[in-house]
Amino acid sequence: MKKFLIIALTALVGIAFAMPAMAKVQMGGMITTDIFYLKQSAENRAPVAPGAVPTADDIGSTAMNLPVPLNRLNAKYTSDDGMIGGFIEVRGGGSVGGDSLADAGADVSVEWTYGWIDWRFNPNVYLRVGRQTQAFAIMAPATTMGWNGRGGPHIIGINFGNVHGGSSRDAIRLYWKFNDMVRLELQAMDPDNDPNYVPGVTLQQPATLGGGTVTEENTIPRFDISLPITIGNFVIEPSGTWVQQKANAVEAGDDDSLDCYGIAVGIKAGFGPVILGGEFTWGQNLGNANYAGAANWGATAYDADGDGDADIVEDTDGYAWWFHLGFKLGPATIFGIVGENNTSNDGSPVAGDALEFDIDHWMYGVSVPISVAKGFTVRPEFMYYDYDSSAEVGGVTGVDRGDQWLLGVQFQLVF
């Protein structure tokens, strides 16, 4: 893995020097390190029914981590006439530490390598092809710590109010700028997460139905649309997403498709020293399409005819929102953050309430990025995560799923 990283970085530098003199090439990147303490309650480790005694203990751990999504090296190319552009980026860092079994002893792991090509038809219309950021629900709250997976991850509030479009998805996107106020983005993406199964929905174990192997069979892309609108100091961005996951080799009468869709509205604005931002998302089965922050938005499946396969899919509904408010005080900005993520499923009408759930996550916190020098930021942060002290899980109401809190500081250099 180290050799791959060195080769990739060398290739980026080589590309920069090999470009024609008349073209513009920019190199950049980001180096980020988190140091934090995470406290996890006993109920969070092992949820308990009403009146039950926790079977686990509270635990706390200190983590020092290079968050994978935030560490990167990139190169950007622009032709001399500005009609063609290109971007390539390598992202990597430590997941749970250099000596872990997951990293096989590697100090650094390369997680994502992606890039795109921009083709401008005119100053207002261009096409982007390649691995890129998604158009749906793209805003994020001002909390950036807690990536490394110890009781998380919690980065940018995922699962606690933020359902994020994310990045690193192969796609083609059309940008159409109508004027200085309105822009339209239409995106078609590779719909398959894995060719061997329908993500998040277990149709049967083992995965065979009617003597055949169940495979995902998508013939149309996933579609995203967004419409960023700028009005004075405000940016308002409505967006939507839809993908249908289909499976073949399914028994007659069984469900063979699953729709995942959502709508979102984001807003951000600045008024002198005041910064505000927020986003609301509503959708169905987004967890099955692997959206960041929608881990518990996945549909359930149950056995309706008692033949041993799960043949009926029950949709999961969800809504999420977050809001942050910031005040600039010299080199520092103080952000107050709150968010909620609710998911529910009616369960199986045949199996009673065994699959029914209604779970409500909340987050509260303060993040204070301090600009120490050009490109260098130090960010103290405290976040509290409530996993629902009175959830409905499997037909049992009042289940205590516990909480966590995180206290730490992040060092980030952008160049």
Task: Look at residue 190 in the predicted model and tell me its pLDDT.
Answer: 83
Average pLDDT value for residue range 256-277? 93
67-98 pLDDT tens trace:
877 889 999 999 999 899 999 998 876 554 33
What is the C-alpha to C-alpha distance for residues 157 and 135, in angstroms, rounded to an integer?
A: 18
Tokens of 239: 């967006």
Range of lowest pLDDT (20-34, 64-78, 183-197) = 183-197
Q: Please confirm whether the linkage preceding 349 is cis (ω < 30° from 0).
A: no
Range of lowest pLDDT (102-106, 213-217, 250-254) = 102-106
Q: Please confirm whether the linkage preceding 228 is cis (ω < 30° from 0).
A: no
Q: What is the phi/psi pair of residue 360, to 5°?
A: -125, 110
What is the C-alpha to C-alpha distance for residues 28 and 19, in angstroms, rounded to an integer?
A: 16
163-188 pLDDT tens trace:
987 777 889 999 999 999 999 999 99
Strand partners, 261: 242, 284
What is the C-alpha to C-alpha distance for residues 367 and 334, in angstroms, rounded to an integer?
A: 6
Q: How confident is the model at residue 151 (pLDDT cuts 50, 70, 90)?
A: low
Tokens of 303: 């056995």
Question: Within 13 Å of residue 312, how many CA atoms lie on the same side as its CB?
Answer: 14
* pTM beyond 0.95: no
What is the C-alpha to C-alpha distance for residues 223 and 83, in angstroms, rounded to an integer?
A: 26
Task: Look at residue 154 in the predicted model and tell me its pLDDT.
Answer: 83
Q: Give the domains, in start order, of the chain with CATH numbers.
A: 26-48+115-414 (2.40.160)
312-361 pLDDT tens trace:
778 899 999 999 999 999 999 999 999 999 999 887 766 667 778 899 99
What percent of the chain has a predicted confidence (pLDDT) above 90? Answer: 51
Asked whether the predicted pLDDT for residue 215 surpasses 70, the reply is no
User: Strands 316-329 and 24-40: what pairing?
Assistant: unpaired
Residue 318 or 21, more confident: 318
DSSP string, 330-362: TTEEEEEEEEEEEEEE---SSSTTTT-EEEEEE
